[in-house]
Amino acid sequence: MTEEERLVASLPLRKKVLYAVIASLLAICGLLVLAELACRLLPINEGLRTLPVNAENPIYRFEPNRTSSWSRDWNFSIVNRVRVNNAGFVNDQDYVREGQRPLLAVIGDSYIEAGMVPYGETVQGRLAAAWGDRGRVYSFAASGAGLTQYLTWAEHARDTYRPDSYLFLNIANDFAESLYHRGRSPGFHHFVRLPDDRAEVRRVDYQPTLLRRLARHSALAMYLVLNVKIEQVVKLNLKELGAPTQRWAANIQRDGTQEEYADYEWAARTFLDRLPAATGVAPDRIVIAIDGLRDAIYEPSQAAVLMDSVWGRMRRFMAVEAGKRGFKVIDMQPVFEAAYRRDGRRFEFPTDTNWNGHAHGLLAEATKVAVGVPASANAKR
């Protein structure tokens, strides 16, 4: 037995335990430091850093003037660089309040935020490049937003930038996410359905916690939260394992109750009724683009069932109601069908259901037809 071993053996049990605990903590700290350093060398998802939303700052935005990496999954199946501009939105352009060129506002959720798509391949990036010095294209979007939030951004754009026209992208979960009793996402606005069927818009304030603000500065923490999605792993519901995927159509459940249909149709009508006032432009300057039911294109044998799903029915409802009000409608289903027949290319990522650059390009081309290309860079008003 060495002198060191004899010294340790002679220590009281309490001190042995204390030394063991200290040694373990030091080892853990060392591993965490190494993991942090390793993560700083990887393209981890650094997050967009949502700003507080409250009465003084009611518009959902991100920390401005910041470029960061966006990535998905533990193995970085998608990697991109995104820029949050001076106005707090994901866009390579800085927004100008008193610009003289015609302006198109593009509004949506994660499909328009498009953190996974290089800016030049997004619908707003493509249109901005096509218009050049003849017009401007500003986007207002964030993951998780619904129809009510779209109205809020439209009002913000109207009062701040005075767009000449608007493009809204409607996807399957927009209806539920616009309803206070079904969503309540922090930072967003939602419809509350009153007993007399009127709608009240209610904001859910957001204030990042101290822990969240600290975590934003740790590469390891961001990797665990945004790439690994550790919260979902911890909350894994074993009952869901092996559940049939056929119950889904797009990103919502395939089948719905009559109560859900009534809620969704009410939300759609309320949104459409409020659009002219929220945008400040004539109905024919408002374009409603509606996502396709892409699985029905990839799996023709399931098309009939999918088209009768919640999203299939709500797509038709939205198109009809928007048309009644004089809005221009871009139904992406026939656009996607024609493109898929031509080249067989899918419209989303292998590991993410958001649109890829191909789908964005198809909407950009359809929007050019619906909105028209500005004729010149003359003053717009």
Residue 231 lies in a domain: yes
As a whole number of angstroms, the distance between CA 155 and CA 316 comes to 26
The b/e string for 221-260 (b: 16+ C-beta within 10 A; e otherwise) is bbbbbbbeeeeeeeeeeeeeeeeeeeebbbebbbebeeeb
Q: Which domain holds residue 32?
A: 3-39
What crossing angle do the helices spanning 147-160 and 258-279 adopt, rounded to 10°?
0
27 and 167 in a single domain? The answer is no
**How many domains, the chain?**
2
Q: What is the helix (H) or strand (E) element at residue 289, kind and residue range?
A: strand 286-290
Residue 47 lies in a domain: no
Q: Are 110 and 141 in contact (CB under 8 A)?
A: yes
Q: Are 297 and 336 in contact (CB under 8 A)?
A: yes
User: Which residues, other chains included, contact 4 with Cβ-Cβ below 8 Å and sequence gap of 6+?
Assistant: none
35 and 71 in a single domain? The answer is no
pLDDT of 294 > 60? The answer is yes
Residue 212 lies in a domain: yes
For the stretch 145-173, pLDDT in tens is: 999 999 999 999 999 999 999 999 999 99
Residue 57 lies in a domain: no
Output phi, psi for 297, to 5 deg. -80, -40
User: Which residues, other chains included, contact 17 with Cβ-Cβ below 8 Å and sequence gap of 6+?
Assistant: none
State the pLDDT confidence band at 21, using cuts at 50, 70 and 90.
confident
Q: Is the dihedral of CA 262, 268, 273, 274 positive or negative?
A: positive
As a whole number of angstroms, the distance between CA 197 and CA 289 comes to 27
Lowest-pLDDT choice from 123-132, 208-217, 311-320: 208-217
Q: What torsion, rounded to 10 degrees, do the Cα atoms 273, 279, 283, 288 define?
A: -80
pLDDT of 245 > 60? The answer is no
Terminal-residue alpha carbon distance, the chain: 92
Q: Is 159 exposed, middle or buried (0-12, 13-18, 19+ CB in 10 A)?
A: exposed
User: Which residues, other chains included, contact 223 with Cβ-Cβ below 8 Å and sequence gap of 6+?
Assistant: 39, 42, 44, 45
Residue 379 lies in a domain: no
24 and 141 in a single domain? The answer is no
Which has the higher per-residue pLDDT, 18 or 270? 270
